Structure 1
Amino acid sequence: MQGIRWIASYPKTGNTWLRCMLAAYLTGRAPRVWNDMHAESLHLEAMLLGGDLPPTEPAEPVLVKTHLKADVPVLGLFREATAKIVYLVRNPRDMLLSSMRMAGIPHDDVARGRIFARDYLANEGLGMMEPGATGESGLGSWPDNVRSWTESSRELFPGADVLTMRYEDLRADPVARFSEIVEFLDLGRPLDPEGIRRAVDSSTLDRMRELEQRSDRQGGGSPLRRGVVRKTTGGRGGGQRQPFVGEGRYDQSLSFLGEDIEAAYQELLQGGSGFAHYAKQYGYAG
Structure 2
Amino acid sequence: MGGIIWLASYPKSGNTWVRTFLHNLLTNAERPADLNELSKFTIGDGNKGWYETVSRKPFDSLSPEEVAALIPKVQEAYARSRPDSVFVKTHNFLGKILDVPLITPGFTAGAVYIVRNPLDVVISLSDHYGLPLDDGIGMLNDPDAYSAETDRKVQDYLGSWSDHVKSWETMEKSMCHTMRYEDMLFKPEKTFGGLAKFLGLNPPKQRLRRAIKFSSFGALQKQEKEKGFNERSDKTEKFFRVGKAGQWKTALNPEQIDRITTAHSHMMEKYGYMPKARKTDKL
TM-score normalised to structure 1 length? 0.75
Residue in 1 that maps onto 2:214: 202
- Are residues 197 and 209 of structure 1, via their aligned partners in 2, closer, same or farther at CA, if it must alter by over 3 Å? same
Which structure 2 residues correspond to residues 1-286 of structure 1 after superposition, within 5 A? Answer: 2-29=2-29, 30-46=31-47, 51=52, 53=74, 54-56=77-79, 59-72=83-96, 73-77=100-104, 79-104=105-130, 112-113=132-133, 115-120=134-139, 122-123=141-142, 128=145, 135-151=154-170, 153-154=171-172, 161-186=175-200, 190-216=202-228, 222-223=230-231, 231=234, 235=235, 241-253=236-248, 256-268=251-263, 275-286=264-275
Contact 2:91–2:156 (CA under 8 A) maintained in structure 1: no
Letter in 2 for 1:55: Y
Structure 1 spans left out of the alignment, 5+ residues: 106-111, 225-229, 236-240, 269-274
Cα distance in 1 for partners of 2:87, 2:146 equals 29
Contact 1:279–1:285 (CA under 8 A) maintained in structure 2: yes
Cα distance in 1 for partners of 2:187, 2:158 equals 29
Contact 1:7–1:85 (CA under 8 A) maintained in structure 2: yes
- Are residues 70 and 257 of structure 1, via their aligned partners in 2, closer, same or farther at CA, if it must alter by over 3 Å? closer
1:227-267 Cα deviation digits (max 9, x unpaired):
xxx65xxx2xxxxx320002112123366443322232333
1:214 shift after superposition? 3.5
Contact 2:141–2:260 (CA under 8 A) maintained in structure 1: no
1:135 shift after superposition? 4.6
- Are residues 211 and 281 of structure 1, via their aligned partners in 2, closer, same or farther at CA, if it must alter by over 3 Å? same
Contact 1:21–1:202 (CA under 8 A) maintained in structure 2: yes
Residue in 1 that maps onto 2:65: none
Contact 1:23–1:37 (CA under 8 A) maintained in structure 2: yes
Cα distance in 2 for partners of 1:2, 1:31 equals 27
1:141 shift after superposition? 1.4
Cα distance in 1 for partners of 2:112, 2:218 equals 25
Report how many residues are paired: 246
1:190 shift after superposition? 4.3
TM-score normalised to structure 2 length? 0.75
Cα distance in 1 for partners of 2:191, 2:165 equals 20
Question: 3-state SS of the aligned residue for 2:41?
Answer: coil
Q: Percent same amino acid at aligned positions?
A: 28
Question: 3-state SS of the aligned residue for 2:46?
Answer: helix
Residue in 1 that maps onto 2:279: none
1:43-87 Cα deviation digits (max 9, x unpaired):
11225675353434563121111111122335453x123222111
1:278 shift after superposition? 1.1
Contact 2:44–2:89 (CA under 8 A) maintained in structure 1: yes
Cα distance in 1 for partners of 2:269, 2:163 equals 15
1:137 shift after superposition? 4.4
Question: 3-state SS of the aligned residue for 2:197?
Answer: helix
Contact 1:5–1:63 (CA under 8 A) maintained in structure 2: yes
Structure 2 spans left out of the alignment, 5+ residues: 54-73, 276-283
RMSD: 2.9
- Are residues 263 and 85 of structure 1, via their aligned partners in 2, closer, same or farther at CA, if it must alter by over 3 Å? same
Cα distance in 2 for partners of 1:5, 1:137 equals 18
Q: Which moved more, 1:244-253 or 1:29-38?
A: 29-38
Contact 1:33–1:214 (CA under 8 A) maintained in structure 2: no
1:281 shift after superposition? 0.6
Cα distance in 2 for partners of 1:276, 1:49 equals 38
- Are residues 49 and 257 of structure 1, via their aligned partners in 2, closer, same or farther at CA, if it must alter by over 3 Å? farther
Contact 1:32–1:211 (CA under 8 A) maintained in structure 2: no
Residue in 2 that maps onto 1:109: none
